[in-house]
Every structure is written in structure tokens, then in C-alpha cells.
Amino acid sequence: MASVGLFVELPKVGLKPSELAVVYIKGDKKSEDIAYYYQQHRKIPFENIIGISLDANKTVIGPGEFAVQKKLLDAKLGDNVQALALAWEKPYQVGCMSVTAAFTFGYNVAYCASGCTKTRTSPYYNSMSVAPYRDFKMRPTMMLAAKNTQEA
């Protein structure tokens, strides 16, 4: 009698290293060091490490300056990249948005709120998607707000 093997396919959980891009600020040695440290330890492909031009001494950047840098960044990202990690502490705000929300959604005042009022709902919220860029044309973004490579 032949035995029947049981096969279970589990759903995807998390990102592959090739699906994450790490963004650093050109000319900011700490930002660049953290980006490459994170890349090496997370086995992120070298081509997914991208520098942009922002002032690392400012806490807030304007929507216009941000839009230019985001457009340049997006042009360098492949469709495989589903999420971003920002390798800096500052700037942390774009106009009325957090820098992570701005990179995720693009600058949009619909995601700004005063106090505890609601903003626009994210299309990714409560979805079963494992590929937010493919499904929603957005890349969820986190900030590696580390003071040094060991904290990254």
C-alpha cells in the first residue's frame, strides 16, 4: 500500500531582502554608514541601497523639495521593491506629514490631521496583501532612527 504524503503550503509572511530598499541621505556619513550596515546584516541587494539629497540638519522639509526627491527615488526602484527603510534621524517631517507617511503615500494633505481627527484611510489597512506596491502602488516605510550602526 502506497503512503500518501500530506502537503501544507503556508502563506507568505514578511518581506524578502530583495523587496526592501534602504534610503540614505547623500553626504551624511552616519546615514550612509547605517544604510550599508543594515544592508549587510539583512542581506539586502546592493542595488536596493539608494541615496537622495536632503538636508540632514533640518527636521522639516517642504512638500516641493520632497516631491522632487521622491520622484527621483521612485524612478530608481524596481517593481519588486515593496517597502522602504529610511536610514536617518532627521528630517522627520514633510509639511504636515511624518516623513515615513510621506514616503508611503506621497505628500497629500488628506493624510494630515490636527489633534485626534481622522485622516484618509490607508488602502493597505486591514488588507491581506503581501505586496503593497504591486497591489496599491504604495511602499510602507519605516525609519531606522539609529544614532549609530549598532542601533540599526
Those residues whose C-beta lies under 8 Å from the C-beta of residue 56, and which sit 6 or more positions away, are 25, 27, 28, 30, 31, 88, 90, 91
Percent of the chain residues past pLDDT 90, beyond the cut: 81
Give the torsion through C-alpha atoms of 33, 39, 42, 47, to 10 deg.
180
pLDDT band, residue 122 (cuts 50/70/90): very high
Is the pLDDT reported for residue 3 higher than 80? no
Bridge partners for 20 per DSSP = 83
Alpha-carbon distance of 105 to 30, in angstroms, equals 26
Those residues whose C-beta lies under 8 Å from the C-beta of residue 138, and which sit 6 or more positions away, are 104, 105, 122, 123, 124, 132
Residue in 53, 35, 49, 107 with CA at minimum distance from that of residue 81: 49
pLDDT band, residue 150 (cuts 50/70/90): confident
Bridge partners for 49 per DSSP = 22
How many CB atoms within 10 Å of residue 4?
6
CA distances from 24 to 28, 49, 72, 74 (A): 8, 8, 13, 14
Is the pLDDT reported for residue 116 higher than 80? yes
CB-count burial class (<10 Å; 0-12, 13-18, 19+) for 126: exposed
The full set of domain ranges for the chain reads 17-147
Is the pLDDT reported for residue 11 higher than 80? no
Question: DSSP state, 12?
Answer: P
Is the pLDDT reported for residue 69 higher than 90? yes
Is the pLDDT reported for residue 7 higher than 80? no
* Tens-place pLDDT, residues 40-68: 999 999 999 999 999 999 999 999 999 99
